[in-house]
Structure 1
Amino acid sequence: MGKTADLTAVQMAIIDTLKQEGCSQSAVSRHLSGKSVGRKKCGRKRCTMRRGDRTLRKIVEKDRFQTLGDLRKQWTESGVETSRATVYRRVQEMGYRCRIPQVKPLLNQKQRQKRLTWATEKQHWTVAQWSKREMPKCLKSSVKYPQSVMVWGAMSAAGVGPLCFIKGRVNAASYQEILEHFMLPSAEKLYGDEDFIFQHDLAPAHSAKTTGKWFTDHGITVLNWPANSPDLNPIENLWDIVKRKLKDARHNTLDELKAAIEASWASITPQQCHRLIASMPRRIEAVISAKGFPTKY
C-alpha cells in the first residue's frame, strides 16, 4: 500500500507540472502510459543495408592500409553512396580501428626461417643468460638539415657504457677502433672480470672478416644474429627512450645536441636496462608465435 500511495503521489506531481506547462490531458495520459508521439524508434534510420556492409568488409580486408577516403571511393563505386562519417562508423562496427601502420623490416622467407630457427635455439635461455650479453648500437640524430651526429653506445642488464660520437662513415677499421677504445671499457665497467657475450647486428662493418678476427684475437664470443631483427634487440627500445627525451628541447648547434644526448644517456638507470633484458624470453616466444615474421617489439 505504501508503494502504491507513493507512486500515485509522484504521478499527481507529474500531472500538475505538465498541466502547468500547457500540456493537454491526452498528452499527459500518453506520457504516463509510456507511449510517445510519432515514430516508435528514436534515432536516425540506418542508411546502409547488410549487403552493402558486407561489400565494405571485403574492401577493407583486401587492403588494410587504405584510408577512409579510399574506402569511401571504392564503396561508392560498388553502388553504396554514403558519407565519410558513415564509412568510419561501419569500419568501427566491424572491429577495425584507424591506426598509423608500424614500420617493420621487410623479411623474405629465408630470413624469417633463420629468425625462427634462432629463436627456437634460444627459447630456453634464462634472463640470467641474456644478462651476460652486451649490446652496442649506433644512433643518428639530426639538429637541422644537413647537420647531424652519429653516436655509438652499449648496454647490458647492469646499465650503459660510455658514448662515442662518430665522425664520418663507419667502416671495418673505424668500427674496430670504437671496439678498442669504447666497447672494451664498457665491458670492464659492466662486467669486470666476468665473461660476456657480445651482440651486434649484421652491418657490413660488423660482419667484416677483419672485425671477426679482432674478436677472436681478444677472446670475445659474438652472438650469432638473424638479419633484419631490431625487434629482438632491446637497445633499440633504449634509443627510443633517448630520442623521446631529445624531442622535448630544441638544439640549435651540434654541441647542444651532443650535450643533450649525453644527459639523456646518463639518465638511463640499470633498472631500465634490466627490464629490457628481462623481455628477451617474451621476444623469443613472440618470434616463434609469429613464425619468424616481425613482432610488436
Structure 2
Amino acid sequence: MKKYTEKILPKYIQAVKAHKARYGRAILLEDNDPSHGTRSADSLAYQAKKEAGIELLKHPPESPDLNATEGLWNIVKQRLRDVEYRNEEDLMDQANNAWRSITQAEIRARFDDLSRRCKILAKGDGRRIRNRLW
C-alpha cells in the first residue's frame, strides 16, 4: 500500500483534479484492492483521496465484468500483441503509447456497454462476459 500511496496515487490525484477542472466532475474508478484504501477509512490512501476531494465509484471487489477500465486494458493488450520491443523500457514506452492512443469514443463505448453487462450478470450463471469491447 505504501508504494501505491506514495508513487501511484499522487499521479491519479493530479489527473483527476485536472479532469475535474476541465469538465466539472471526475470520478476515480478503482477495484477494491486493499492497497487502494477502499476498505478502511483509516488508510493513508483513503485519507489522501478524501483530502484531495476525490469522488470514488464503489463497486464489488474482483468484478472485471463491471469495470470499464478492464475493457481499456484489453485495448492496450491488443495493441501490444504484435509489437516488438528490445527491452523493458521499450515495452513500457509502447504500453504508454497504446494507453495514450485510446480515444474518447473507445472509452464511451465501454461505459455505454455497462448497463447491458449488468443485465447479463443479473441473469447469468457467474461466467465471464466476453465480447469485442471487453
Same fold (TM over 0.5): yes
Deviations, residues 195-242 of structure 1 (Å, cap 9, x unaligned): 333221111201352222222222223222212211111111111111
Q: Is 1:183 aligned with 2:17?
A: no
Structure number with higher helix proportion: 2
What is the TM-score normalised by the length of structure 2?
Answer: 0.79
> Does the C-alpha gap of structure 1 residues 247 and 295 become closer, same or farther in structure 2, counting only changes over 3 Å?
closer
Q: Is 1:275 aligned with 2:104?
A: no
> Which position in structure 1 is the counterpart of 2:91?
257
Ranges in structure 1 where 5+ consecutive residues have no aligned partner: 1-170
Cα distance in 1 between the residues matched to 2:76 and 2:26? 25
Cα distance in 1 between the residues matched to 2:129 and 2:50? 35
* 1:231–1:296 CA contact under 8 A, matched in 2: yes
Cα distance in 1 between the residues matched to 2:92 and 2:32? 26
> Does the C-alpha gap of structure 1 residues 197 and 263 become closer, same or farther in structure 2, counting only changes over 3 Å?
closer
> Does the C-alpha gap of structure 1 residues 223 and 294 become closer, same or farther in structure 2, counting only changes over 3 Å?
farther
Ranges in structure 2 where 5+ consecutive residues have no aligned partner: none
> Which position in structure 2 is the counterpart of 1:192?
21
Q: Is 1:287 aligned with 2:116?
A: no
Q: Give the greater-gyration-radius structure (CA).
A: 1
Q: Is 1:174 aligned with 2:8?
A: no
Alpha-carbon offset, residue 191 of structure 1 = 3.1
Give SS of 1:226's match: coil
* RMSD after superposition: 2.0
* 1:231–1:294 CA contact under 8 A, matched in 2: no
Within the candidate set 218, 230, 242, 2:52 is matched to: 218
